[in-house]
Amino acid sequence: MEGPQGKIIYNRSSRGSKSKSLPALHLAGIVFKNIYPKYRATFINNRHGINNTLYAGTQLIMALTYKVEVLEICQISPPLGSISTASLPLTFFDIPWLVLPPVQTLFYYELNHPKTYFMNTILPNIKHSLSLTLQHFYPLAGQLTWPQDSVKPQLLYMDGDSVPLTVAECDYDFDHLSGNLSRNADEFYPLVPTFEHAMSDDKLVPILALQVTFFANKGICIGITFNHTSMDGQAFHHFIKSWASICKSEGITSLVTESLPFYDRTVVKDRKGIEIINLNDLEAMNITKDTYNILRIPMVPIDKVRGTFVMSYLDIKKLKQWVMTRLDDRHVAPSFRISTFILISSYVWICSIKARQDTQDDKSSCQDWREYFLFSIDCRPRLDPPLPMTYFGNCVGGCIANGDRNELIGENGMVVAAELIANAIKNVDTELWSRMEKGSSYYKSLPPGRFVSVGWSPKFGTYETDFGWGRPKKTEMNVSDGGAIALNSCRDEEGAIEVSLVRDAVEMDAFASLFENTVSALHL
């Protein structure tokens, strides 16, 4: 059907209902050309759970000026009849993620082909391999729901369920977007999909959405949005690498079947009653089976910049030597192994504190002089019995280090930070469970603006994700503002680490200066 200013694409949802998408409009923030002003988009307000209406021709255009053109929106299902109806109950590792926004990631691939080759050769293989992959990762095609006869939410897959795949093209500067310099954070949001079809039923929340954006004779970007309630970073990379493997082999699934996801959740034992604590936390936030509406749309960080910084292997080695020298000066043998993770985490923690202090008058308003550093640790090997690394779901726990700010920004702040983070890791088997028993109250008690959280991990090996077009030129987790930092391996140098973050321009400049100059100024 043709509209006055563009095509209206009809999508058949996984429940069989027919929904009409707006002409050249991607809901919840992505504005395309040829917008027809009389159409409007309704979305769920992520604070109050109420319906709000944004008119396509006004507010959305004012909010975002970066645009891509949608070529196609389709639904990709596992092969018909390959999977029957199945459900997975959430565990106490999954439930806390219900109230947080979806995770967004970007994979950039250099590809020197015209549009006709992309549409006729590459895209069909992307769709076919995704369908085959979903046969093994079927929960991702399902929905998150809370049945009336269940005490907790679950992942539900029904035969015919599907993952929305948006195909788009744009004329952005591919090299600019996939570079490391400071870039406008708003430029990236048109490249990641949204959960627009979730609006058909507030009780059914989607788990995965995908977008492939074509840059003529330059490359493609695979944008991924997934609900963190369904899986952690380890499980996500199991999925994305399985999909890449099938795509690269043009449909051969033998490597994937050798490492299938593990779905048995009866082996995840809740020995301390943490699940009840989590459900009570939800009820306190008015999230129950009757009021269930937990869709969270990531907020667009207007007027923020994104930066990626690389610490080389030689700089990491120099930093380690400096820390070891300071420890030797105290004539006390270090009680911990100075790992790359501890060094990088300490470094970005100190740089973040100093950058914030340099750009904000926060001393006058701060009554809590402690700073906090949050990171996750994989609990699969820590459970009894241990879980296989192919376990599908969430199985990470939060670790927290905290220390006096004056000591952290002092002359030996790096040593102080390294010891604090090392001790948090050392005590994880006791502190982790103790913190879980406190539920969300502990995290709510942390002073706003006084913590840095690190996500992702160089161990995921994101640059090994090859769909048949070579290694990615760049991979990024679409971190939001608020203290979050993503750590990643480096494509071009073994042993180097990429650090990505989003801040306002002034604080980013301060962080960049500190990150680039602090190591070079160290005297061994």
Q: How many CA atoms lie within 13 A of 335 on its CB side?
A: 12
48 is annotated as an active-site residue: no
Tell me which residue has tokens 């989003």: 502
DSSP 100: S
Query: What does the alpha-carbon distance between residue 64 and residue 149 come to, in Å, rounded to a whole number?
Result: 42
Q: 219-226 and 163-169 as β-strands: parallel, antiparallel, unpaired?
A: unpaired
Residues 6+ apart with CB under 8 A from 188: 106, 177, 306, 476, 478
228 is annotated as an active-site residue: yes
Which entry of 466, 481, 504, 509 is annotated as an active-site residue? 466
**What DSSP assignment string belongs to 26-67?**
ETTTEE-SS--TT-EEEEE-TTT--EEEEETTTHHHHH----
Two tokens, residue 524:
């061994």
Query: What does the alpha-carbon distance between residue 402 and residue 152 come to, in Å, rounded to a whole number?
Result: 33
Segment holding 244, helix H or strand E: helix 233-248
Which entry of 26, 136, 197, 228 is annotated as an active-site residue? 228
Q: Are 56 and 22 in contact (CB under 8 A)?
A: yes
Two tokens, residue 222:
């695979």
SS3 label, residue 227 = coil
What residues are annotated to the active site? Answer: 228, 466
